[in-house]
A and B are shown apart, each in its own frame.
Chain A
Amino acid sequence: MGSGSIEVLFEKLLLGEIEEKEYASLFVYVSRVVERTAQKLSYELQKKEGLETQPISILGAISRFLPEGEDSVNFVTEELILHILKKKRLLLEVLKDGNFKAYFGVMVKSFIVDIYRKLTRGIETLNPNDSQEEETEEERALYRANPQSYKSQILAYELIELKELILDSLGEEEIKYLCYSKDSKRYKCLWGSKSEDAIYQDVRRKGKKVLEKFRTILIEAEVSKELLEELSKSWLSDMCEELRLEKCRGETDETS
Chain B
Amino acid sequence: MRLLEELLAIYKAMLNLEGEATTQEAGNYKRTGAPDFRDVEPLPIEELTSPQRGDVVEIVPPYDNLEMRFLILRETSGFFEVVPLSPFWEFATPKDVVIEVEGEPYIAQTDISLDVPSDNFTKRFGNRRLFKVGKVDEYILRRIELVCDGKEKGDGNMVGSIKGEFKRLEAQRWFALWTSQIAEEEALQELEGMIMNLKEREMSLTASEEETLYGSKEGIRWFYNERERTLVLLPEEELLGKEKRIFLDFDGERFILFEGKLPPRIEIPIREEAYSWRILNDSLGIEDVQ
Residues of A in contact with B (beta carbons under 8 Å apart): 3, 13, 16, 18-20, 22-24, 27-29, 31-33, 35-37, 40-41, 44-45, 48-49, 71, 73-74, 77, 82, 85-90, 93-94, 96-99, 101-110, 113-114, 116-117, 122, 125-127, 130, 150-151, 153-155, 157-158, 160-162, 164-165, 220-224, 226-227
Contacts and interface: CB of A to CB of B under 8 A. Distances in A.
Interface string B126-158: 000101010000000000000000000101111
Contacts of A110: 14, 66-67, 87
A38 to B, nearest CB: 11
Nearest to A58: B10
A46 to B, nearest CB: 9
SS class of chain A's interface: helix, strand, loop or mixed? helix
A234 to B, nearest CB: 13
A253 B42 CA distance: 63
B176 interface: no
Given A20-B32, A224-B94, A224-B157, A106 B2 contact: no
A32 B23 CA distance: 6
A164 B2 contact: yes
SS class of chain B's interface: helix, strand, loop or mixed? loop
A95 B228 CA distance: 26
Contacts of B201: none
Q: Which 4 A-B pairs have the closest CB atoms?
A: A98-B241, A23-B34, A227-B157, A44-B13
A245 to B, nearest CB: 26
Contacts of A150: 89, 92, 98, 105, 155
Interface of B: 1-4, 6-7, 9-10, 12-14, 16-17, 19-23, 25-27, 29-34, 37-38, 40-47, 58, 60-62, 65-67, 87, 89-90, 92-94, 98, 102, 104-105, 129, 131, 133, 153, 155-162, 240-241, 261-264
Contacts of A16: 37-38
Contacts of A122: 3, 90
B273 to A, nearest CB: 31
